[in-house]
Structure 1
Amino acid sequence: MTRPVVALSRRLPAAAARLLDGAADVRTPDVDRPLTAAELRTAVAGADALVCLLLDRVDEALLDAAGPQLRVVATVAVGYDNVDVEACRRRGVRVTNTPGVLTDATADLTLALLLGITRRVGEGERLLRAGTPWRWDLDFLLGTGLRGQQLGLVGFGAIGRAVAARAAAFGMSITYSARHDAPADVTGPLGARRLPLPELLASSDVVSLHCPLTPETHHLVDAAALRAMPSSAHLVNTARGPVVDEAALVDALDHGEIRGAALDVFEEEPAVHPGLLARDDVLLTPHLGSATEQTREAMAVLAARNVLAVLAGQDPPTPVV
């Protein structure tokens, strides 16, 4: 019996690779870098399944190159803005993602960024590494404490709620902006209040982004949104880079419209707006939200299980389409 063919856009952790190897012929790239669009089209030609990463664009051209036998696209990420979902739907191709397994890791990093920017951790480390003379003083590198501050969460899904629970433990009050009220058993223990986005922006000491990237959320945080925030506020983004207009953010920081920002994702990733790189009021990390050994392995294993379920004619654990 002919085994199905699974194309990978990158090498997977061993546990996920073993799962796929046991049931399919796996095409693994022989280069340790993201494939170009042309290379990916070649790799997927004739495959029954594709396991891809968030940098891989799954569009009409790729689906055409794959052929009509393609049954599933499994992206190793919770977001799937890199996949043309409607094009897959029209072809009967299942699309899956990997939610849930990265919630804690991303929420942990969000708190690390929140603490890092409000307490000026990056600024202090750079000062020491540069050998700059310093001494302890009452007004040296003063940051802001979290207790009694308002956290405004834009998006209140699993990651937003996990961030809320962590921030509440630091004494922050929790507000959120979402299409619908969250269940009372979630909001009650946190004292979380739903606010319209304009009110949330205007009243929050820290605004943290946890919404998916869609046409509606592209540049959701633009010049007007930044002007609406208090001049003492901080912005944190661990969602998707294009949710923030980076040029507008640089301008807002230049004019003191907000106090600082901490970003794990970027508008033209992996490039970063040059106006952000030399600032002490910005903390930057290179898309580390899910970057723990346990989480990345769990994401890859879940993607593999999604693929195997579809190839076996079953519903995948985490279907998008």
Structure 2
Amino acid sequence: MKIVFHGANALTFRDGLESLLDQAHEVAEVPDDLATETARATYAAADVIVGVQLTAAMPVSHSLRLYQVPAAGYDRIDPAALPAGAALCNCFGHENAIAEYVMAALLARHVPLADADRRLRMGDWKYWAGGPTGLRTDLGETGIGILGYGHIGKTLALRAKAFGMKVTVANRSPVLVSDIVDKAYALKDLPAFMGSADAIVNTLPLTDETRGLIGEADLAAMRPDAVILNVGRGAVIDEAALYNALKAGRIGGAIIDTWFVYPNANKPGPLPANLPFHELNNLVMTPHMSGWTYGTISRRRETIADNINKLASGIDLGNRIL
């Protein structure tokens, strides 16, 4: 088969692919812009495309059997642009990394290592045990609310419970109360869920159903000192509602990793939102990095290779969306 890696993101998973394949295949690489006739012809001849964007403006590969997204999110894929008979699949493998990011971000709010280090270098013993000024809070005495109970949500719940946190969940399908989940909510009960914990974490992908799901009323239902984290997709939270809640100090803060504006060829270094979040001092901003680790790359490469092997052998594909 002819396997084509389309664009810089997909090429991250290219090295070492052949060592994971059961059979020899032709592997080609094309740039994001598909600007040359050679690139477009290579793309159009693919049996398998590994990429993150598919639109009607791109060449159609009538031989395409599998469009493999090397990520969990597929909101940049237009299903109508898939030729008849082609499967659409995605990858996970990022849940461990994202769970670690969330726990690190929450721990940083309770354990002031950097501040203690900075102070002690100046002879300031503020956090010395026994002193009245350095007392801090315990993460394990707080609660975490996880919106979406898929790969990320389940992995995060296990990590949070290991720290002794109370875990609440909101999900489209029912979630049973267990040793891990202390209370579960339906999405129709979102305001009640938003007020159930000290930290609310969105892990949901962006779909027509989830776009703007968390709005002004939902943010208003949060505890006034609670923090919201977004590691799902930016637009699941209404941008203006989030900005206004933070600017007015109606919630305790935010840790945002997934955004409303992203780099593109014409603007490679934009600010990540349409509103001036960067001027606020009650949030931590990171550049969609929570799942980006060596382990994630390795696990996703294995998933890509596994699906190519399954396709070549006539076995049902994994993580099939369409």
TM-score normalised by the chain length of structure 1 = 0.81
Which residue number in structure 2 is paired with residue 26 of structure 1?
27
Q: Distance in 2 between matches of 1:172 and 1:120?
A: 19
CA deviation digits over 1:165-190, x for unaligned, max 9?
1111222111111123224xxx4212
CA–CA distance in structure 2, aligned partners of residues 291 and 13 of structure 1: 15
Q: CA shift at 1:284, angstroms? A: 2.1
Matched, 1:192 2:182: yes
Q: Which amino acid aligns with 1:6?
A: I
Q: How does 1:264-283 map to 2 (within 5 A)?
A: 264-270=257-263, 271-273=271-273, 275-283=276-284
Q: Does 1:70 align with 2:71?
A: no
| 1:178 aligns to 2:171 (yes or no) | yes
Superposed displacement of residue 297, structure 1: 1.4
Q: For 1:61, which of 35, 57, 62 is the aligned residue?
A: 57
CA contact (8 A) 1:150 1:205 kept: yes
- Indicate conservation of the 8 Å contact 1:116/1:283, yes or no: no
> SS of the counterpart of 2:68?
strand
Contact 1:20–1:26 (8 Å) recurs in 2: no
- Structure 1 residue runs of 4+, over 4 Å off? 37-43, 117-122
Give the secondary structure class of the aligned counterpart of 2:301.
Answer: helix
Q: How does 1:297-316 map to 2 (within 5 A)?
A: 297-316=298-317
| 1:82 equivalent in structure 2 | 76
Residue type matched to 2:56 in 1? Answer: E
Contact 1:237 1:262 in 2 (8 A): yes
Are 2:204 and 1:203 aligned?
no
As a proportion of its length, which structure holds more helix? 1
Q: Contact 1:151 / 1:173 at 8 angstroms: preserved in 2?
A: yes
The structural deviation recorded for 1:259 is 1.0
Computed over aligned residues only, the root mean square deviation of the Cα atoms, in angstroms, reads 3.0
1:1-321 aligned at under 5 Å gives the runs: 4-9=1-6, 10=8, 11=11, 12-19=13-20, 22-29=23-30, 35-36=32-33, 38=35, 43-52=42-51, 56-62=52-58, 65-85=59-79, 87-88=81-82, 91-99=84-92, 101-117=93-109, 124=115, 135-137=124-126, 144-183=137-176, 187-195=177-185, 196-270=189-263, 271-273=271-273, 275-321=276-322
- Distance across 2 between alignment mates of 1:106 and 1:317: 22
Quickly say closer, same or farther: Cα 1:133–1:235, change in 2 above 3 A: farther
CA 1:216–1:118 in 2, change beyond 3 Å: closer, same or farther?
farther
**1:84 to partner: Cα distance:** 2.2
Contact 1:15 1:297 in 2 (8 A): no
Q: Which moved more, 1:227-236 or 1:267-276?
A: 267-276
Q: Secondary structure at the match of 1:190?
A: coil
Residue 296 of structure 1 and its aligned partner are, at CA, apart by 0.8
Distance verdict in 2 for CA 1:286–1:315, change over 3 Å: same
Q: Is 1:204–1:230's contact at 8 Å kept on the other side of the alignment?
A: yes
Pair 20,60 (structure 1): closer, same or farther in 2 beyond 3 Å: farther
Residues 42-98 of structure 1: CA deviation (Å, up to 9, x unaligned): 65222111011xxx3212333xx133111110011122222223543x622101111
Encode CA deviations 1:85-128: one digit per residue, 9 max, x unaligned: 3543x6221011113x2222221112122223455678x49x95
Would the alpha carbon gap of residues 203 and 21 (structure 1) be closer, same or farther in structure 2, given more than 3 Å must change? closer
Q: Which runs of 5+ in 2 are unaligned?
A: 127-131, 264-270
Paired with 1:266 and 1:104, the residues of 2 have a C-alpha distance of: 21
Q: In percent, how many aligned pairs have the same letter?
A: 29
Gaps of 5+ in 1: none
2:268 paired residue number: none
Higher relative contact order (CA 8 A, sep 6+): 1
